[in-house]
Chains A and B, each alone.
Chain A
Amino acid sequence: DTEVTQTPKHLVMGMTNKKSLKCEQHMGHRAMYWYKQKAKKPPELMFVYSYEKLSINESVPSRFSPECPNSSLLNLHLHALQPEDSALYLCASSYSGGETQYFGPGTRLLVL
Protein backbone atom coordinates (compact mmCIF):
# COMPACT_ATOMS: atom_id res chain seq x y z
CA ASP A 1 0.00 0.00 0.00
CA THR A 2 1.49 3.33 -1.08
CA GLU A 3 -1.36 5.62 -0.12
CA VAL A 4 -1.06 9.16 1.14
CA THR A 5 -4.37 10.79 2.03
CA GLN A 6 -5.13 14.50 2.15
CA THR A 7 -8.10 16.47 3.45
CA PRO A 8 -9.95 18.47 2.40
CA LYS A 9 -10.00 17.90 -1.36
CA HIS A 10 -11.09 21.47 -2.00
CA LEU A 11 -10.88 24.60 0.14
CA VAL A 12 -12.08 28.14 -0.43
CA MET A 13 -10.95 30.76 2.05
CA GLY A 14 -10.88 34.49 2.47
CA MET A 15 -7.71 36.42 3.13
CA THR A 16 -8.53 36.79 6.83
CA ASN A 17 -9.42 33.15 7.46
CA LYS A 18 -7.42 30.50 9.29
CA LYS A 19 -7.59 26.98 7.92
CA SER A 20 -5.55 23.79 8.02
CA LEU A 21 -4.64 21.13 5.49
CA LYS A 22 -4.11 17.58 6.70
CA CYS A 23 -2.02 14.72 5.38
CA GLU A 24 -1.75 11.15 6.61
CA GLN A 25 0.28 8.07 5.69
CA HIS A 26 0.51 4.64 7.28
CA MET A 27 3.45 3.25 5.34
CA GLY A 28 5.96 3.75 8.14
CA HIS A 29 7.63 6.54 6.18
CA ARG A 30 9.84 8.86 8.24
CA ALA A 31 10.03 11.78 5.81
CA MET A 32 7.02 13.92 4.85
CA TYR A 33 6.81 16.84 2.46
CA TRP A 34 4.60 19.76 1.47
CA TYR A 35 4.64 20.96 -2.13
CA LYS A 36 2.81 23.76 -3.91
CA GLN A 37 1.83 23.35 -7.56
CA LYS A 38 0.49 26.07 -9.85
CA ALA A 39 -1.31 25.22 -13.06
CA LYS A 40 0.91 23.71 -15.79
CA LYS A 41 3.99 23.93 -13.55
CA PRO A 42 5.88 21.21 -11.69
CA PRO A 43 5.54 20.88 -7.90
CA GLU A 44 7.64 23.26 -5.79
CA LEU A 45 9.00 22.04 -2.48
CA MET A 46 7.87 24.00 0.58
CA PHE A 47 8.79 21.99 3.68
CA VAL A 48 10.37 18.67 4.64
CA TYR A 49 9.96 16.85 7.94
CA SER A 50 12.34 14.07 8.78
CA TYR A 51 11.70 11.97 11.88
CA GLU A 52 9.08 14.54 12.93
CA LYS A 53 11.56 17.43 12.86
CA LEU A 54 11.52 20.26 10.34
CA SER A 55 14.43 19.56 8.06
CA ILE A 56 13.93 21.96 5.16
CA ASN A 57 12.01 25.23 4.84
CA GLU A 58 12.32 26.60 1.33
CA SER A 59 11.98 30.24 2.44
CA VAL A 60 8.21 29.92 2.61
CA PRO A 61 6.27 32.96 3.94
CA SER A 62 5.24 32.72 7.59
CA ARG A 63 1.56 32.70 6.64
CA PHE A 64 2.20 28.99 5.96
CA SER A 65 2.97 27.08 9.16
CA PRO A 66 3.74 23.35 9.04
CA GLU A 67 3.26 20.93 11.90
CA CYS A 68 4.11 17.24 12.31
CA PRO A 69 2.21 15.90 15.36
CA ASN A 70 3.51 12.35 14.86
CA SER A 71 5.23 10.19 12.28
CA SER A 72 1.99 9.55 10.35
CA LEU A 73 0.49 13.04 10.28
CA LEU A 74 1.44 16.31 8.67
CA ASN A 75 -0.52 19.54 8.85
CA LEU A 76 -0.21 22.85 7.05
CA HIS A 77 -1.77 25.79 8.88
CA LEU A 78 -2.85 28.69 6.71
CA HIS A 79 -3.42 32.26 7.87
CA ALA A 80 -3.84 35.58 6.07
CA LEU A 81 -3.21 34.08 2.65
CA GLN A 82 -3.08 36.06 -0.57
CA PRO A 83 -4.95 35.28 -3.82
CA GLU A 84 -1.63 34.28 -5.41
CA ASP A 85 -1.42 31.44 -2.89
CA SER A 86 -4.25 29.70 -4.74
CA ALA A 87 -2.80 26.41 -5.98
CA LEU A 88 -2.82 22.63 -5.58
CA TYR A 89 -1.10 21.70 -2.31
CA LEU A 90 0.49 18.30 -2.36
CA CYS A 91 1.71 16.15 0.49
CA ALA A 92 4.26 13.40 -0.10
CA SER A 93 6.12 10.86 1.99
CA SER A 94 9.16 8.65 1.64
CA TYR A 95 10.74 5.94 3.76
CA SER A 96 13.76 8.16 4.24
CA GLY A 97 15.79 10.71 2.36
CA GLY A 98 16.83 9.50 -1.07
CA GLU A 99 13.91 7.12 -1.39
CA THR A 100 10.93 7.37 -3.71
CA GLN A 101 8.43 10.05 -2.72
CA TYR A 102 4.75 9.07 -2.90
CA PHE A 103 2.27 11.88 -3.38
CA GLY A 104 -1.25 12.37 -2.08
CA PRO A 105 -4.15 13.52 -4.25
CA GLY A 106 -3.73 17.14 -3.22
CA THR A 107 -5.90 19.92 -1.82
CA ARG A 108 -7.16 22.48 -4.33
CA LEU A 109 -7.01 25.83 -2.52
CA LEU A 110 -8.70 28.99 -3.70
CA VAL A 111 -8.03 32.24 -1.84
CA LEU A 112 -10.56 34.99 -2.46
Chain B
Amino acid sequence: EDQVTQSPEALRLQEGESSSLNCSYTVSGLRGLFWYRQDPGKGPEFLFTLYSAGEEKEKERLKATLTKKESFLHITAPKPEDSATYLCAVQEVDSSYKLIFGSGTRLLVRP
Protein backbone atom coordinates (compact mmCIF):
# COMPACT_ATOMS: atom_id res chain seq x y z
CA GLU B 1 0.00 0.00 0.00
CA ASP B 2 1.21 3.48 -0.82
CA GLN B 3 2.56 5.26 2.19
CA VAL B 4 4.27 8.46 3.28
CA THR B 5 6.07 8.42 6.62
CA GLN B 6 7.57 11.44 8.29
CA SER B 7 10.11 11.38 11.10
CA PRO B 8 10.57 12.44 13.75
CA GLU B 9 7.01 13.14 14.89
CA ALA B 10 8.26 16.04 17.00
CA LEU B 11 11.58 17.84 17.19
CA ARG B 12 12.84 20.40 19.67
CA LEU B 13 15.84 22.47 18.66
CA GLN B 14 17.76 25.27 20.23
CA GLU B 15 17.95 28.41 18.13
CA GLY B 16 20.86 28.00 15.71
CA GLU B 17 20.93 24.20 16.02
CA SER B 18 20.67 22.77 12.49
CA SER B 19 18.79 19.53 11.80
CA SER B 20 16.90 17.55 9.17
CA LEU B 21 13.36 16.25 8.81
CA ASN B 22 12.73 13.04 6.89
CA CYS B 23 9.92 11.99 4.55
CA SER B 24 10.08 8.46 3.20
CA TYR B 25 7.61 7.25 0.62
CA THR B 26 6.54 4.11 -1.17
CA VAL B 27 4.50 4.76 -4.29
CA SER B 28 4.37 2.97 -7.61
CA GLY B 29 5.54 6.04 -9.50
CA LEU B 30 6.33 9.51 -8.22
CA ARG B 31 4.84 12.51 -10.00
CA GLY B 32 5.94 15.03 -7.38
CA LEU B 33 6.81 15.54 -3.72
CA PHE B 34 5.63 18.64 -1.90
CA TRP B 35 6.71 20.26 1.37
CA TYR B 36 4.37 22.55 3.29
CA ARG B 37 4.66 24.46 6.53
CA GLN B 38 1.55 24.77 8.73
CA ASP B 39 1.04 27.03 11.72
CA PRO B 40 -1.66 26.09 14.27
CA GLY B 41 -5.18 26.81 13.00
CA LYS B 42 -3.96 28.01 9.59
CA GLY B 43 -3.75 26.53 6.12
CA PRO B 44 -0.59 24.82 4.86
CA GLU B 45 1.90 27.21 3.30
CA PHE B 46 3.70 25.90 0.21
CA LEU B 47 7.47 25.55 0.51
CA PHE B 48 8.90 23.30 -2.23
CA THR B 49 8.01 20.94 -5.06
CA LEU B 50 10.50 18.25 -6.09
CA TYR B 51 10.00 16.08 -9.16
CA SER B 52 13.05 13.89 -9.65
CA ALA B 53 15.77 12.17 -7.66
CA GLY B 54 18.78 14.39 -7.13
CA GLU B 55 16.77 17.57 -7.22
CA GLU B 56 17.41 20.20 -4.52
CA LYS B 57 15.67 23.46 -3.71
CA GLU B 58 16.49 26.19 -1.20
CA LYS B 59 14.63 29.01 0.45
CA GLU B 60 16.21 31.07 3.21
CA ARG B 61 17.17 28.59 6.00
CA LEU B 62 15.42 25.64 4.35
CA LYS B 63 16.76 23.17 1.79
CA ALA B 64 14.80 20.24 0.39
CA THR B 65 16.39 17.23 -1.29
CA LEU B 66 14.92 14.16 -3.01
CA THR B 67 16.10 10.60 -3.57
CA LYS B 68 14.20 7.65 -5.03
CA LYS B 69 12.88 6.67 -1.60
CA GLU B 70 12.91 9.76 0.59
CA SER B 71 13.15 13.49 0.93
CA PHE B 72 14.91 15.58 3.52
CA LEU B 73 14.09 19.07 4.70
CA HIS B 74 17.27 20.57 6.10
CA ILE B 75 16.92 23.52 8.47
CA THR B 76 20.08 25.55 8.92
CA ALA B 77 20.48 27.77 11.99
CA PRO B 78 16.75 27.78 12.78
CA LYS B 79 14.99 30.66 14.50
CA PRO B 80 11.96 30.53 16.82
CA GLU B 81 9.75 31.71 13.94
CA ASP B 82 10.55 28.44 12.13
CA SER B 83 8.45 26.63 14.74
CA ALA B 84 5.55 24.95 12.91
CA THR B 85 4.35 21.60 11.62
CA TYR B 86 6.09 20.56 8.42
CA LEU B 87 4.00 18.39 6.10
CA CYS B 88 5.28 16.22 3.28
CA ALA B 89 2.91 15.08 0.52
CA VAL B 90 3.43 12.83 -2.48
CA GLN B 91 1.53 12.67 -5.74
CA GLU B 92 1.54 9.51 -7.82
CA VAL B 93 1.96 9.35 -11.57
CA ASP B 94 -1.48 7.75 -11.94
CA SER B 95 -3.22 10.40 -9.84
CA SER B 96 -3.30 13.96 -11.09
CA TYR B 97 -5.03 15.48 -8.11
CA LYS B 98 -4.62 13.40 -4.97
CA LEU B 99 -1.92 14.19 -2.45
CA ILE B 100 -0.83 11.47 -0.02
CA PHE B 101 0.17 13.32 3.13
CA GLY B 102 2.51 12.21 5.88
CA SER B 103 1.51 12.86 9.49
CA GLY B 104 3.88 15.80 9.78
CA THR B 105 6.80 16.79 11.98
CA ARG B 106 6.08 19.31 14.75
CA LEU B 107 9.13 21.54 15.09
CA LEU B 108 9.75 23.73 18.12
CA VAL B 109 12.74 26.08 18.08
CA ARG B 110 13.59 27.54 21.47
CA PRO B 111 15.34 30.91 21.80
Q: A residues touching B (Cβ–Cβ < 8 Å)?
A: 2, 4, 6, 31, 33, 41-43, 45, 48, 50, 55-56, 88, 90, 92, 94, 96-98, 100-106, 108
Contact A108-B41, Cβ < 8 Å, known A33-B97, A41-B103, A102-B46: yes
Binding site of A, secondary structure by majority: helix, strand, loop or mixed? strand
Q: Is the CB of A43 within 8 A of B97?
A: no
Partner of B97, one of A6, A48, A105, A106: A48
Q: Is the CB of A43 within 8 A of B49?
A: no
Interface size of B in residues (CB-CB distance below 8 Å): 22
Chain B residues whose CB sits within 8 angstroms of the CB of A104 once the complex forms: 43
Q: Is the CB of A90 within 8 A of B43?
A: yes
Partner of A100, one of B34, B42, B43, B102: B34
* A105→B98 CA distance, assembly (Å): 20
* A31→B42 CA distance, assembly (Å): 21
Q: Is the CB of B46 within 8 A of A98?
A: no
Q: Is the CB of A45 within 8 A of B98?
A: yes
Chain B residues whose CB sits within 8 angstroms of the CB of A92 once the complex forms: 43
